[in-house]
Structure 1
Amino acid sequence: MPTPYDPGRRTFLSAAGLVLAAPALATPALAASAPATPAPAPARTRRGGSAPGNPFTLGVASGDPAEDGVVLWTRLAPDPLNDDPERPGGMPSEPRPVEWQVAEDSGFARIVRSGTATATPELAHSVHVEVGGLRPGREYFYRFRAMGELSPAGRTRTAPAGDPSRLDLAVVSCQQFEHGYYTVYRHLADDPPQAIVHLGDYIYEAGGEPRARRHTTPDPVDLAGYRLRHAQYRTDPDLQAAHAAAPWIVTWDDHEVVNNYSGDEARGMTREEFAERRAGAYKAYYEHMPLRASAAPSGTGMRLYRRLAFGRLADLFVLDTRQYRIANPPDADLTPEPEANDRLAGDRLDPRRSMLGDEQERWLLDGLSGGSGRWRLVAQQVVLAQRNLAAPGRPEKFRLDTWDGFPVARARLLRAIAERNVPNLVVLTGDAHTAIAADLKADFGDPASGTLGSELVATSVTSRGDGGDLRRDGDAVLAANPHIRFWNDLRGHTRCTITPDALRAEFRVVPYVHEPGAPEHVRAVFRVTAGRPGLEKLSDTPLPDVPSVDPATTSDGIEG
């Protein structure tokens, strides 16, 4: 695990071996002793204030591992919560050089790649270094130097080539800052996987009821506001430690912009107003994520859907279920009244409703049927399996912001998957604030229909607070949805270990997030055997002394 930043370490060796500052100090090995209790976010400075000093207050990160390289990220922000839009992060409006190094060892004795990037004010002085020429399936260490300061060291790993025997992924989503501490990330930093897959709601744009701590920046409505909100989240030391421990593969959901938006529509805004706000939110997202230049904003959009290969073991398809979705017919009237949700959703059976858009849907199906990976993994945002949330004896009730609001598009997708005989399909999902394991059926209305694959839904990191070990309506929900095999409302993540023969999924949870320090438990374990669609439950172990949760606290309005 990365050693906390030491302001005394200002030495940095160039590729030519020249000392750029005073006598060189050996960089220590990555340690596992970072503080477990998050430090409070720094106080906001007055508008126009400056805070020269350590520019690496937001940490370091890597992402999108390939066989020969990764993306390295940092952002220069000596005063991260400075609210002057002309000086985001407390930086002057001029470019700054940022040196970087990649080494085979944590002491940086064997440096294999190095260079200099330029941090520009146009991207809030963030840098996205695409490092190539590395060896597949190898661990590397990296660091930056700028403004006379040395960053913390990060650990990363390239994707394997050929026929790897194992792939270890952690799946996370939904980290509302106000709802709890990032204990889940502390555990991930202490036991890092090969990569962390984040499925959205990295920030929350709207403040809610603070349950553990508070947003200290105004709710964002423009680029400057979204930069501040990202910066506050990034100051958390547990989140920084998880970023520095493993490469991340990221995509967004709705709260990176505004709750429950669909394509170019958002409640209470004209399309023109929302387009401007969305463009600012997208730009801030890119500035704070370890993404390649191919994902950089272009016009009002960004292309996030992409495929990552892990040798011949697995193909990972990362989707964007927000930017291209069409929730309402083009002639529908948007309305600001909250009670008009049904009108906003439109007719859920309207065939014009699309979750992925035509181009992304074709890309996904072509990739799933033509990929070379033994396992076909799909990382996406909202629950794909049908969920009838109605009480027994009541009419069916669905969350219309998920694939349940797009049943025609879902049926088309699953039908194409069946027709193309897509092998070993496992969908990785976030958004629900609930851990769910489900079989994907050819016809959810017929439990006897064929099983096409499995879905593993990661619960939230903090969103909705502590939660509970069992739902009081859990038996009724499972009875109404026989394809759902597991349903749990604690916070945590999903750990997937993939071999040629099987995928093992552990739902790891913590009993509370209202304060730091909660232990981690393996709540349930499932296995998917290659060539045999469907889930096999290996264990299901309730946590003692953890209360059940009232379904009234898991209503439609709180999820996602």
Structure 2
Amino acid sequence: MHRRQFLQRFLQGAGCFAVSAAMPGSPRLWAATGKHAAGRFHFPQGLASGDPTPDSIMLWTRVESLTGETEPIPLVLQVATDDTFRRVVAERTVLATLGSDHTVRVFVDQLQSDTRYYYRFRAGADVTDLLGRTRTAPTATADRPVNLGFASCQSYEGGYYHAWRTLLNEDLAATEADQLDFVLHLGDFIYEALGYGETRKIESLPSGGGTPPEWAGGVYAVTLEDYRFLYKTYLRDPDLRAARARWPFINTWDDHEFSDDCWQSVSTYTNQPLAEQRRKVAANQAWFEFIPAVLSDHSGSAGISNQAHDFKPASVQNAPLSGRVDDHGLDQETNNLKALATLSIYRSFRYGQHVELVVTDTRSHRSAHPVPAELNQQISGSARYVTPWEIIKIFDAGRTFNGGNPPAEIPLGPDKRIPNVNRHAPAGTMLGAAQKAWFKSTLKASDATWKIWGNSLPLQPLRLDFHHLDPAKGAELAFTTDCWDGYPSERAELLQFVADENIPNLISLTGDHHAHFAGSIAPDFDADAPHWVGAEFAVAGISSQSVFEGVLGYTKPDSPLRPLTTFDARPFGRPEAQTDNLNTSFLWGTAAAMTAAQTGDLGKALSARNPRQNRHLAYCDTHAYGVARVRIAADRIHVEHIGIEPPHRDRGEKGALIQRRARFELPAWPGDQPAPKLSAPSFEGELPFPLA
């Protein structure tokens, strides 16, 4: 069935093929293709594997003709159990066509579980310069630890991919038992716009790009060729190519694979959201072509129907959204629905007895941001940042607030009121109706020891307690409404479901915020005694500007709020001209951060700490770059955040200098008990401020 489906999609121009390890073919097939002289073809984006199961894997490459030919290019794939290819288990010819930008995806099934495989592609006499290496998943009854890496946010212009090289070097030096089984990539694989950094410049896009009048970030991808160009550019990086060649990747997306802070088919570069259904279709197609994922043929979890599906072309027009939404905020405009339906990527993976990995899509099915950008701009001076928490709760709950009696107006300070424009709207959603039902069913049905949520956006709040700094004028502010803190009603629903169903050992792995942080998760983070139901570990960006640097850039040197982000510690006998005081604001509160800036005395700063400030946090490093590793065993989980130096200088094959490692350990717990609260990590290397 798999091979028939893939052949049918190939005939439609999707570049999809299948081969079975039970039918390896003739070794003469490989030899017969090498009769012509070498140097006619090359593989500039390398090769990759994705979505391993116990008996299958998706393999990928892209080929180019060095003579500029655009005709279909025949390739031969070989899969073997040894790196010399003496034990070939699968071999077949595939065709790279212009219709899929000369990318090919080959689904290989009937493989052995928990087995290392090697693979390569050949065009004429030219062979992929990298050797592909992958591994199938263990069976659901296998009792062994699982090792994975997770990563997020890799702006090409923002910096070099040293973090990938560091992870590669460590894996090469590790024992077989300690090497990674796979890598979970949590999104922002590409950045759709130019201008997100200046370390490595991309000068232009094939179409010339779009330029929003109110946005200073440069131009952004508009067409399929634009998105393809970005993937091809990013995948020429040697460290990223090497990482994809060494490990199978499991990918989800965040916003930049389509458009910054997007929802459904809507871009949000300006205060007036813009429906861009054609861009959404183009972005979906390019993701499908360059990311090796098993979607339509995904096996999923036992007893739970697969909701993912391959890219399905659709003809759409850019049309304003209708304003008619269903009970979960999905706009019913025809082109919006058709664009979203072209690709579905949420899916789950079973890895032995101990891991159920549930990977979600937090962009395609979400409702609009809770506070309209124009209104948020009036409140805080930003479209989606530093929003009063009390306003978010009212706006997000919509017509369900206060038992179905939401206010028509909301007080803002002592003498101002704002209209509650959401009082007739449904409550906000990040997942949408179908995905939320699937998510709950998958968690409830799984008997794996640990439930790992591949979650592109943090559940944990990063709040700023301005009311603690100035009780008369301040408010508690959510750092951003684009993450789960902007959709608290659904977050509470999902985490209360975990509590009510006695689902144990829930771990969220996330990214997006360009910072390393970790802590516990609860249905109600504001309760006097939160009921912890799991833990979350957020990974910093591979190369995207750290949140500390981002906030620093937005805060003028003479701003009275700048000390909450940084201060010159040299007058107090420390070497830092720019102290990472944003960590203090998040961990201890704004009064503590201001005290640290004014006195340089961490004892006094700690005395000014707000005991309720982000109580869930066990760690925060806002000036971090890097990756993270996880080891999951029957009785506990180990997580290591690897923080590297800012990746603005090419370090070559040495990889980055590691500034610190933060190591966490969390024991398993039964579902009828609260999760143990995550403790502060142990460290190797230089500690971040204020912990130093």
Shared fold, TM over 0.5:
yes
Q: Give 2:493's aligned amino acid.
A: R
Q: Does 1:473 align with 2:582?
A: yes
State the AA in 1 paired with 2:530: S
Is contact 1:527-1:537 (8 Å) kept? no
The one-letter amino acid paired with 1:497 is R
Letter in 2 for 1:202: F
Aligned-partner residue type, residue 16 of structure 1: S
Letter in 2 for 1:305: Y
What runs of 5+ residues in structure 1 fail to find an aligned partner? 1-13, 25-51, 80-88, 550-560
**3-state SS in 2 of match to 1:174:** coil
Structure 1 segment 232-243 matched on structure 2, within 5 A: 232-243=233-244
Name the residue aligned to 1:42: none
Matches within 5 A, 1:14-29: 15-18=25-28, 19-20=31-32
Question: 1:466, 1:511 → 2: CA distance?
Answer: 14
C-alpha change, 1:428 and 1:78, in structure 2 (3 Å) is farther
Cα deviation for residue 20 of structure 1 reads 1.9
**Equivalent position of 2:348 in the other structure:** 307
Q: Which of 342, 360, 384 in structure 1 is aligned with 2:435?
A: 360
1:326 aligns with 367
**1:509-556 residue CA offsets vs partner (Å, 9 max, x unmatched):** 212201132223552111111115432344034527x8899xxxxxxx
1:140 and 2:140 matched = no
Q: CA deviation at 1:405?
A: 0.7
2: CA distance between counterparts of 1:200 and 1:313? 24
Measured at CA, do residues 63 and 91 of structure 1 come closer, stay the same or move farther in structure 2, by a change above 3 Å? farther
Give how far 1:309 is off.
0.6
Partner residue of 2:677 out of 534, 537, 546: 534
Q: Letter of the 2:146 partner, please give it.
A: L
Asked if the contact 2:508/2:536 (under 8 Å) is kept, the reply is: yes
Q: Kindly report which structure 2 residues correspond to 1:76-475, keeping only aligned pairs within 5 A, or say none.
A: 76-78=63-65, 92=70, 94-151=71-128, 152-161=130-139, 162-190=141-169, 191=171, 193-208=180-195, 210-218=197-205, 219-267=220-268, 274-292=276-294, 294=296, 295-298=309-312, 299=314, 300=339, 301-327=342-368, 341=383, 347-350=395-398, 351-391=426-466, 392-393=468-469, 394-398=474-478, 399-446=480-527, 448-464=529-545, 471-475=580-584
Residue 657 of structure 2 is aligned with which of 497, 513, 519? Answer: 519
Equivalent positions of 1:486-505 (< 5 A) are 486-488=619-621, 489-505=623-639
393-402 or 176-185, which deviates more: 393-402
**Distance in 2 between the 1:442 and 1:23 partners?**
64
**Partner of 1:353: helix, strand, or coil?**
coil
Count of residues in correspondence between the two structures: 497
Which amino acid in the other structure matches residue 103 of structure 2? S
> Secondary structure at 1:349's aligned position in 2?
helix
Q: Secondary structure at the match of 1:228?
A: helix
Residues 271 and 509 of structure 1: CA distance in aligned 2, closer, same or farther (over 3 Å): closer
- Aligned partner of 2:264: which letter? G
The Cα offsets for residues 164-183 of structure 1, whole Å up to 9 and x where unpaired, read as 32100100000011111101
Partners of 1:158 and 1:194 in 2: CA distance: 8
User: Helix, strand or coil: the match of 1:444?
Assistant: coil
Cα distance change of structure 1 residues 401 and 114 upon mapping to structure 2, 3 Å threshold: same
CA separation in 1, counterparts of 2:268 and 2:511?
Answer: 22
User: 1:297-356: per-residue Cα shift (whole Å, max 9, x none)?
Assistant: 2242311100011022110000000000012589x8999999672699992332521100
Q: Equivalent residue of 1:171, what SS?
A: strand
- Determine helix, strand or coil for the equivalent of 2:41: coil
- After TM superposition, give the deviation of residue 397 of structure 1 in Å: 1.4
> Could you tell which deviates more after superposition, 141-150 or 52-61?
52-61
Aligned-partner SS, 2:255: coil
Summarize the Cα distance change of 1:543–1:95 in structure 2 as closer, same or farther, 3 Å threshold: same
Q: Deviations over 1:256-313 (max 9, x none)?
A: 1110011132226898851111110111111111112524222423111000110221
Deviation at 1:193, TM superposition (A): 1.4
Q: 1:447, 1:482 within 8 Å by CA — same for their partners in 2?
A: no
- Assess, with a 3 A threshold, how the Cα gap between structure 1 residues 440 and 284 changes in structure 2: closer, same or farther: same
The structural deviation recorded for 1:446 is 2.1
Question: Does structure 2 conserve the Cα–Cα contact (< 8 Å) formed by 1:63 and 1:290?
Answer: yes
1:478 Cα deviation after fit: 1.5
Alignment correspondent of 1:56: 43
Going from structure 1 to structure 2, the CA distance change for 1:336 and 1:427 (only over 3 Å counts) comes to closer
Q: Which amino acid aligns with 1:440?
A: I
- Larger Rg over CA atoms: 2
Q: Per the alignment, in what secondary structure is the counterpart of residue 528 of structure 1? A: strand
Q: Does 1:66 align with 2:141?
A: no
| 2:618 aligns with one of 441, 465, 485 | 485
The code of the aligned residue for 2:645 comes to P
**Which is further off, 144-153 or 268-277?**
268-277
Greater Cα shift, 197-206 or 260-269 = 260-269
Aligned residues of 2:48 and 2:61 also touching (Cα < 8 A):
yes
Q: Is the 8 A contact 2:370 2:486 kept in 1?
A: no
What's the counterpart of residue 9 of structure 1? none
TM norm structure 1: 0.82
Letter in 2 for 1:529: P
Conserved? CA contact 2:34–2:126, under 8 Å: no
Structure 2 CA distance for partners of 1:515 and 1:342, relative to 1, 3 Å: closer
What amino acid sits opposite 1:183 in the alignment? H
Q: Aligned partners of 1:107 and 1:353: how far apart in 2?
A: 54
**3-state SS in 1 of match to 2:383:** helix
Q: Distance in 2 between matches of 1:15 and 1:353?
A: 53
